[in-house]
Amino acid sequence: MDTAPQVSPEVLRVVESVPDPELPWLSLADLGVIREVTEGPEGVEVVITPTYTGCPATEQIIDDIRTALADAGRPGARVTLSLSPAWTTDDVTDAGRRKMIEHGIAPPAPVSSPAAAGVAVSIGGRSAPTGTDPELTCPRCGSHNTEIISPFGATACKALVRCLDCREPFEWFKPL
């Protein structure tokens, strides 16, 4: 996340602590959707990049950022969408990846990894990896011996997976 030097620590703290509406234990900063925060005579502006164009949570994210800043005494904040560069799962922070594991979700492999390169997140694309996969680790037991139960989990960005060793189901945040 880029920040201008004049941004107050309180504004940064507020913006960086806004939770993701679909994964409330993960902040927008953890998810990597906050691109820039500026503060000037016109007020606060926050630039975000949604996880994908048309993400149904985008309006809620905008409202949540505005509300959090208004509650902190900074009403009238502008939240701007930037679609370029596009968000990728590489933007998820290390803290965000740790929180995913703590909450039973396998984090995405880096987009540049061989496993991620073979995953198409589109209709009619190739399916997610199955079987022993070094990039897809069970968040419960650490095994790579997994199978995809469904290419979609609770949200379109996740798949439902089962560990073949501990037999526990879990969600996998698909690389994008």
Whole-model pTM: value is 0.78
Amino acid at 147: E
Using the 3D structure, point to which of 36, 55, 81 is the last residue of a domain. 81
Instruction: Say what the pLDDT of residue 133 is.
Output: 62
Domain containing residue 63: 2-81
Among 21, 27, 91, 28, residue whose Cα is nearest residue 59: 21
C-alpha span between 135 and 146 (Å, rounded): 11
> Number of folded domains in the chain?
2
* Distance, CA of 133 to CA of 118 (rounded, Å): 12
Q: Tell me what percent of the residues of the chain surpass a pLDDT of 70.
A: 84
pLDDT band with cut points at 50, 70 and 90 for residue 5: low
Mean pLDDT for the stretch of residues 94-98: 96
Q: Note whether 102 and 121 are same-domain residues.
A: yes
Number of alpha carbons in the 13 Å side-chain half-sphere of residue 131: 2
Average pLDDT over residues 7-30: 95
Q: Which pLDDT belongs to residue 52? A: 84
| CA distances (Å), origin 91, targets 33, 76, 125, 151 | 7, 27, 23, 22
Q: What is the pLDDT of residues 98-144, one digit of tens each?
A: 999 999 999 998 876 544 444 444 433 334 455 556 678 999 999 99
Alpha carbon distances (Å) from 153 to 90, 95, 107, 149: 20, 22, 13, 9
Give the model's pLDDT for residue 6.
78
Q: What is the per-residue pLDDT for 130? A: 52
Indicate the residue among 36, 63, 81 that finishes a domain: 81
State how far the Cα of 143 lies from the Cα of 92, in Å rounded to an integer: 22
Same domain, 73 and 9: yes
Task: Examine the domain organization and report whether 74 and 123 are in the same domain.
Answer: no
pLDDT of residue 115: 47
Q: Could you tell me the two tokens for 20?
A: 């993701």
Between residues 114 and 46, the one the model is more confident about: 46
pLDDT the model gives residue 85: 93
Give the CATH number for residue 66.
3.30.300.130
* Domain end (from 56, 81, 106): 81
